[in-house]
Structure 1
Amino acid sequence: MTPEQRVAEVLGEAPAPEGTWEREAAYLSAAARRLGVPAAGLAARVRAVAGVAAVEERPNGFLRITVEVPGALVETVRPLSLPDPWPDFPRTWDNPGFAVRYAHARAAAVRRWARDLGVPEEGFRPELLDGPRDRAVLRVLAELPGRLARPARGASFWASYAVRLATAYHDAHELAPAVPVGDEAPSPLHTARVRLARAVEDVLPGPDRL
C-alpha cells in the first residue's frame, strides 16, 4: 500500500493534489472539517504514516500533506475505460482526441521499445521519478483517486482530464526519455519511466499504434 492510500484510509477520502509538484508533492484535505474532529488530532495521525514528509494545519480545518516519494502512486493506477468523445479526424494537434490517442500510442510504443532495448521491467524505484517532466505527469495522475470517487460524470468531465494528462505525457516523452538514446545503457531511471508510461497507457483511451 502506498503512502497516498494509507493517508486516504486515515482521512476517509483521497486528498486533492495541490500545486505543480515541481518542487514538492502536496495534497490538501478538508477531512477534519467534514468529520467534525480537531485538525490537530487528524494531522498527528497522518504524520505517523510512513512516507509522509510533512503535515501543515491550515485555516478552516484544512491539512496540507506532502509525501516523500510521489512516484509510488503509479503502482495504484489500474486500466480504465475512459470515454473517447472526439472525432477521428483531423489527426493533427488541433484535435484534442488526436493528442490523447497519440499519447496512449506513444506510451504503448515505449513499452515495446523498452523490451527491444533490454530495459528491465523489474526493479522499479519510484524515487527516480523526480524530474520536472516526470512530476508533471504524476501530478495529473494524482487526481485519479478523487475523480474516481465522485458520482458518475459525463464525457466532458473526463475529456479535459485526459487532455491534460496527454499534454504532460507528450512533454515527458520528448524531454525525459524512457528508453536509452544512442549508446546509452539501460538504467533504473529508464525502468521507472517505462513504469510511468504504463500508467499513462492504462488511463488514456486510444489504440496502441497510430
Structure 2
Amino acid sequence: MTPARLDELLGMPPIPRGTWAREAVYLSPAAARGGRDPEATAGRLRALPGIEDVRVRPGGFLEIVVAVPGELVTEIAPAAVPGTPVTGVPPWEDLPGTWANPGFVVRYAHVRAVAVQRWAAELGVGGRFRPELLDGRLDRAVLRVLAEAYGRRTSRDPGWAAYAGRLALAYHDAFEGAGALPVGDEEPSPLHAARVRLARAVRDVLAEALAAVGGTAPDRM
C-alpha cells in the first residue's frame, strides 16, 4: 500500500507519522472531513491487501499502518516537470564542503545515490525488487522521509529545502550503515538490490528538491 493508492482511496494524501522504527503509520483526516463514518471507512481499509491495521482516533482521524512500507519506492520516479525555483531564497552553495552547509550535504547525498546506481551495475546487483526487505532501522528511516514526497509534490508550499536536508541526512546514515553493495567476496543479494532501488528513489527526490531551490544535482563532486 502506497501514498498514491491511499490518496486514491481516501481522496486526499495521507500524512506519514512517527519514526516508522516499529510500524509505518499514515494519518488521514479524510473520513472526518468527508462526512463518512470513520469506523466504517476503517473497516473497509482493514480488508485491503497491504494494510496491517487501521485505528480510529478522536475527531475521526484514521491511523493507517501499512504492512510493507518499502512499496512506496515503486511510485517514485524522476519528476516529469522540474520544480519551480523558490523565489526569495538564495541558491545553495557547494562550498564549504562541511556538514554545516546544507548545499553540500544534499548534493553529496545525491552524488552518493547516483554512484550506487553506477557501482551496482558494475557489480551485477539486480533482480526483482522485494520491498519487504527494506525493513532495517536505517532503511526504514529513509522510507519515513521519502513517504512525505508524495504529499509535498501536491502541496502549494512543499518546503523542499528543509525536507531535502532531512532526506539527505537519513540517506547518508543508510549509505554508511546499511550498504547497498556487496563487499569483498560477498555475492549480490536481493537485499542489495532493494537498497539500490531505495537509493534510486532518493536520487530522484533530491534532484527534484534541488531544482526547486534553484540548485544543481551533480553526479560527482
TM-score scaled by length of structure 2: 0.89
What per-residue deviation string (whole Å, max 9, x for no partner) do you get for residues 127-170 of structure 1?
0000000000000000111111212x37xx11000000000000
Comparing 172-181 with 43-52, which one deviates more in the overlay? Answer: 43-52
- Paired-residue identity, %: 60
Q: Secondary structure at the match of 2:26?
A: strand
Range that drifts further, 6-15 or 184-193: 6-15
Equivalent-residue separation in structure 2 for 1:117 and 1:88 (angstroms): 30
Q: Look up the match of 2:171.
A: 169
Amino acid at match of 1:167: L
Map 1:1-150; keep pairs closer than 5 Å. 2-80=1-79, 81=82, 85-120=91-126, 122-150=127-155
Are the equivalent residues in 2 in contact too, given 1:3–1:49 (CA < 8 A)? no
Provide the aligned length of Structure 1 versus Structure 2: 205
Q: Secondary structure at the match of 2:181?
A: coil
Residue 194 (structure 2) aligns with? 192
Equivalent pair of 1:91/1:98 in contact (CA under 8 Å) = yes
**Cα distance, 1:90 vs structure 2:** 1.1
Judged with a 3 Å threshold, the aligned counterparts in structure 2 of structure 1 residues 90 and 14 are, in CA distance, closer, same or farther, namely: same
Shift in Å at residue 7 of structure 1? 2.2
Alignment deviations for residues 5-44 of structure 1 (CA, whole Å, 9 cap, x no partner)? 3322121012101100011101111111211111112112
SS at structure 2 position matched to 1:208: coil
Deviation for aligned residue 1:85: 2.8
| 2:213 equivalent in structure 1 | none
Q: Secondary structure of the equivalent of 1:201?
A: helix
Separation in 2, partners of 1:75, 1:85: 30
Counterpart-to-counterpart distance in 2, 1:85 and 1:45: 46
**Would you say 1:207 and 2:187 are equivalent positions?**
no
Residue 45 of structure 1: how far off its partner (Å): 2.0
Which deviates more from structure 2 when the two are superposed, residues 160-169 or residues 4-13? 4-13
Distance 1:3 1:103 in 2: 24
Q: Which runs of 4+ in 1 moved over 2 A?
A: 2-7, 80-85
Question: How big is the shift at 1:89?
Answer: 1.5
Which digits, 9 at most, give the CA deviation of each residue in 1:28-78, with x for residues without a partner? 111112111111121122112210000011110100100110001001112
- RMSD after superposition: 1.5
The TM-score with structure 1 as length reference comes to 0.93
Q: How far apart are the structure 2 equivalents of 1:5 and 1:45?
A: 17
Contact 1:100 1:166 (C-alpha < 8 Å) held by counterparts: yes
Q: Give how far 1:3 is off.
A: 4.2
Which residues of structure 2 form unaligned runs of 5+? 208-216
